């Protein structure tokens, strides 16, 4: 059978199941089954029976709303590829913008002749920490994750990168670095408990709840992050963290209410939705 026919049928099946990106996921899964780069998929002339059977099984699981990254075992994040699966939050494309902001902050320090120190709290799969180590090799990168299952994935993804990884709560990580960190970055849990039904099926059923939900208003982890970042950062150090699109006002307000932060600014994602907050430690 031709790839075109398989892809068309799979896309219809996934669309009917409510998958948000049926055509893209159909292509990813077929490239995975055939072990070819996605860009070379159009060059495949035919798919044999064994591969068709494997593909049908994966498409059925995706139609059941298993994350496509769990089916392929990998997730792309900026310029790196991460191993992911059950027990760890799958990194989202929106978070690449926050990582890019952190890269810019660190590169500015390197250009000034410094060896910057950065801490990634709630690292999950290690996505942000891995990207920072990859793009700013001069930086000293530290990462912390509370959940043992997610920490195991981070260990795998950060092996050999030089990143210092710790199994720790964001509220208590790396006390030995207090007052000496240039950048703190985090993608903390931020979904309000009352918003359970609004969370995508893939996330609600397959991402760890510890990585998703954070109190009645979704801001509990951000409040703890504000306190810990203020202790970790040197005067003038920078904090950046992701939040829900409905928290474009409430998340920055967590910082402004304390009086510890200057240049508090919220940033939008590529779809124009409020996505992450940055600030400078004023004291």
- Sketch the domain layout of the chain as residue ranges: 3-64, 77-82+87-281
pLDDT for 244: 86
Q: CATH second-level architecture of 77-82+87-281?
A: 3-Layer(aba) Sandwich (3.40)
| β partners of residue 213 | 191
Would the pLDDT of 243 be above 90? Answer: yes
Cite the annotated binding site by residue number: 145, 187-190
Would the pLDDT of 206 be above 60? Answer: no
pTM passes above 0.75? yes
Q: How many CB atoms lie within 10 A of CB 139?
A: 25
pLDDT for 39: 87
Q: From CA 220, how far away is CA 217, in angstroms rounded?
A: 7
Would the pLDDT of 213 be above 60? Answer: no
pLDDT tens, residue by residue, 162-182? 999 999 999 999 999 999 999
Cite the annotated binding site for S-adenosyl-L-methionine by residue number: 145, 187
Residues 199-205, mean pLDDT to the nearest whole number = 56
pLDDT for 220: 87
Would the pLDDT of 66 be above 90? Answer: no
Cite the annotated binding site for substrate by residue number: 187-190
pLDDT tens, residue by residue, 108-126? 999 999 999 999 999 999 9
Among 57-66, 206-215, 234-243, the least confident range: 206-215
Would the pLDDT of 258 be above 90? Answer: yes
Residues 72-83, mean pLDDT to the nearest whole number = 94
Would the pLDDT of 7 be above 70? Answer: yes
pLDDT bucket at 282, cuts 50 / 70 / 90: very high
Of 246, 233, 241, 283, the residue nearest 265 (C-alpha): 241
* Summary mean pLDDT of the chain: 90
Among 51-55, 96-100, 207-211, 270-274, the least confident range: 207-211
pLDDT tens, residue by residue, 29-46? 999 999 998 889 988 889
Would the pLDDT of 204 be above 90? Answer: no
Task: Specify the residue for token string 């500015």.
Answer: 108
Burial (CB count <10 Å: 0-12, 13-18, 19+), residue 122: buried
Residues 40-53, mean pLDDT to the nearest whole number = 91
Contacting residues for 41 by C-beta, under 8 A, at least 6 apart: 3, 27, 30, 31, 34
pLDDT for 194: 60
Q: How many CB atoms lie within 10 A of CB 249?
A: 9
Residues 219-226, mean pLDDT to the nearest whole number = 92
More confident residue, 276 or 20: 276
Residues 94-116, mean pLDDT to the nearest whole number = 97
pLDDT for 70: 87
More confident residue, 193 or 17: 17
End-to-end CA distance of the chain: 66
């Amino acid at each position: 059978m031709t790839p075109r026919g398989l892809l068309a049928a799979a896309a219809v099946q996934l669309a009917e199941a409510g998958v948000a990106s049926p055509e893209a996921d159909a292509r990813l899964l077929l490239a995975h089954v055939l072990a070819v780069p996605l860009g070379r998929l159009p060059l495949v002339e035919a798919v044999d029976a064994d591969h068709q059977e494997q593909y049908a099984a994966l498409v059925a699981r995706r139609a059941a709303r298993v994350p496509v990254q769990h089916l392929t075992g990998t997730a792309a994040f900026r310029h790196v590829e991460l191993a992911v699966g059950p027990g760890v939050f799958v990194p989202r494309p929106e978070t690449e913008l926050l990582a890019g902001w952190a890269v810019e902050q660190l590169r500015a320090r390197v250009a000034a002749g410094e060896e910057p120190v950065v801490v990634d709290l709630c690292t999950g799969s290690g996505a942000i920490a891995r990207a920072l180590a990859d793009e700013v090799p001069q930086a000293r990168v530290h990462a912390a994750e509370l959940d043992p299952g997610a920490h195991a994935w981070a260990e795998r993804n950060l092996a050999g990168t030089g990143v210092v990884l710790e199994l720790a709560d964001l509220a208590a990580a790396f006390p030995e670095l207090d007052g000496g960190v240039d950048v703190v970055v985090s993608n903390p849990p931020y979904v309000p408990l009352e918003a359970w039904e609004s969370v995508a099926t893939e996330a609600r059923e397959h991402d760890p709840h510890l990585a998703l939900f954070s109190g009645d208003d979704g801001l509990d982890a951000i409040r703890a992050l504000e306190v810990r970042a203020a202790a970790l950062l040197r005067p003038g150090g920078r904090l950046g963290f992701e939040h829900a699109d409905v928290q474009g006002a409430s998340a920055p307000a967590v910082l402004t209410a304390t009086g510890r932060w200057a240049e508090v600014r919220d940033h939008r994602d590529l779809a124009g939705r409020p996505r992450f907050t940055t600030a400078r430690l004023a004291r």
